[in-house]
Amino acid sequence: MNTSHYPSAYIHQAPETHTLSVIVDNEPGVLARVVGLFSGRGYNIESLTVSETEHEAHVSRITIVTTGTPMVIEQIKNQLARLVPVHRVVDLTVSAKVLARELALIKVKGKGEARVEALRLADAFRARVVDANTESFVFELTGKGDKIDEFVALMRPLGLVEYSRTGVAAIARGPDAM
């Protein structure tokens, strides 16, 4: 990083992708406030996953994948931490080794050799057939985003109809809680 004592000097920082875990109260409007923070400041959300994680305490975990310069990522974390229903903000990308996975459902239509090839590739990717009929399959695939991207790309010429992805679920490795 180049630094300068002159405020007008251009400092170039490359964008980075970060996975943020945000622990919030599970109450109406919280997700809208978090998303509003991003949209109001022009930050992009690449993936968003939300689920209640502590039912008795009414606490939810929001996992956000976003991209920005290190300065922008720091701003996002600080602004999220200032929202009232937010308990904690952890940048899993820098705080620990992170395990991140997605789930995808992929529908492929095909007959004959294309159908056989789709099944062969699904087996190689460890995708599970969750629905099948004489004209199509629905595969379930769990893994890193690039694995899902690759599988979808291979299914396109074989008759990909549509697919749906859950978004990233992430957790830090090791015995400690975030």
Domain parsing of the chain, residue ranges: 16-96, 99-171
Q: Which CATH architecture has domain 99-171?
A: 2-Layer Sandwich (3.30)
Residues ≥6 apart with Cβ < 8 Å to 94: 18
Q: Which CATH number does 16-96 carry?
A: 3.30.70.260
Q: Is the fold of 16-96 the same as that of 99-171?
A: yes
The answer to whether residue 171 scores a pLDDT higher than 60 is yes
Of 167, 177, 172, give the one whose Cα is nearest residue 66: 167
Q: What is the pLDDT of residue 66?
A: 96
The tens digit of pLDDT for each residue in 104-119 reads 999 999 999 999 999 9
Give, in degrees to the nearest 5, the angle at Cα 133 between 138 and 111.
Answer: 90
pLDDT-derived band at 173 (thresholds 50, 70, 90) equals: confident
Does this model's pTM top 0.85? My answer is: no
